[in-house]
Amino acid sequence: MPNYTLNVNGQSMSVNVDADTPLLWVLRDELDLVGTKFGCGIAQCGACTVHIDGQATRSCQLLVSNLDGQKITTIEGLSENGDHPLQEAWKEVDVPQCGYCQAGQIMTAASFLNNNPNPSNEEIREAMQGNICRCASYNRIEKAVAIAAKKVS
């Protein structure tokens, strides 16, 4: 199997996997970074969202062989002490129910706020449309993103 060197959360990591292995499964099975979740495998639910050079990307559809030294950030590497403004806002609003989708929600929101630090509510709703929360904690996700936006800007 070919060898790939990945830049994950600021660390260089080496893996031996097939070229067609999605980044999601490299993270979960090879690197034990299980915060990135498997939900659908076809980029429809957003549970597997990570950052590639800061941009929210579905890791279930991104093949390891298509990465070329880009910086990969997972929920584990979003902040050093779990205190990213979104993580803080998530606690403040008490967002999760089952909690399974929340890492993907936070990663989507983090990239969105980087690109648009001062969003309207409509922009937040549009940005988060791609992430399914099966428990439907949507009101609180919306509120937490808005609170984090205030802290960021």
Partner 1 sequence: MRTEQNTFTVSRRNFLRTSALAGGGMLIGFNLFTACKKEATLPKEVIDFSSLNFNDFNAFIKISDEGYVTIFAPNPEIGQGVKTSMPMIIAEELDVPWDHVVVAQADYNKKEYTRQVAGGSQSIRQGWDALRQTGATTKQMLINAAAAKWGVDASTCKASNGVITNANGDTFGYGEVTKEAAALEVPENVALKDPKDYKIIGTDAINVDMDKIVTGKPLFGLDYKKEGMVYASILRPPAFGQKLKSFDATAAKAVNGVIDVIQFGDKADSVKDQIKGFMRVTDKVAVIANSTWAAMKGKKALNAQWEEEKLESTEDHDKELLKILDGKKFDVRREDGNVKKAFAEADKIIERTYESPFLPHNCLEPMNFYADVNGEKVHLVGPIQTPQWSAGYIAKMLDRPEEDVHIEMTRMGGGFGRRLYGDFIVEAAEISSTINKPVQVVFSREDDMGAGTYRMAIKYRIAASIKDGEITGYHLKEAAVNSNMYGLIPHFFPAGCIANYKVETGNYQSNITTGAWRAPYTNFLAFAEQSFFDELAEELGKDAVQLRIDLLQNVKGTQDENIQYSGQRMEDTIRLCAEKGNWGKAPEGVYQGFCAYYSHNTHVAELAEVELKDGQPVVKKVVAAVDCGIVVNPTGAINQVQGGVLDGIGHAMYGDLTFTNGNPSARNFDNYRLIRMQETPQVEVHFVENGLSPTGLGEPGLPPAGGAIANAIKAATGQRLYKQPFVKYLNQELKEVKG
What is the nearest approach in angstroms of partner 1 to the Cβ of residue 58? 12
Interface with partner 1 by CB under 8 A: which residues?
A: 1, 17-18, 20-22, 25, 28-30, 32-42, 44-45, 47, 74-76, 78, 82, 87, 90-91, 94, 96-103, 106, 125-126, 128-142
Q: Between 33 and 149, whose beta carbon lies closer to partner 1? A: 33
Q: Between 70 and 77, whose beta carbon lies closer to partner 1? A: 77
DSSP states of the chain as a string? Answer: --EEEEEETTEEEEEE--TT-BHHHIIIIIS--TTSPPS-SSSSS-TTEEEETTEEEEGGG-BGGG--SPEEE-GGGS-SSS--HHHHHHHHHT--SS-TTHHHHHHHHHHHHHH-SS--HHHHHHHTTT---TT--HHHHHHHHHHHHHHH-
Q: Between 55 and 121, whose beta carbon lies closer to partner 1? A: 121
Q: Between 30 and 151, whose beta carbon lies closer to partner 1? A: 30
What is the nearest approach in angstroms of partner 1 to the Cβ of residue 67? 15
What is the nearest approach in angstroms of partner 1 to the Cβ of residue 135? 5
What is the nearest approach in angstroms of partner 1 to the Cβ of residue 89? 10
What is the nearest approach in angstroms of partner 1 to the Cβ of residue 77? 9
Q: Between 57 and 137, whose beta carbon lies closer to partner 1? A: 137
DSSP states of 80-108 as a string? Answer: SSS--HHHHHHHHHT--SS-TTHHHHHHH
Whether residue 99 contacts residue 133, with contact meaning beta carbons closer than 8 Å, is answered with no
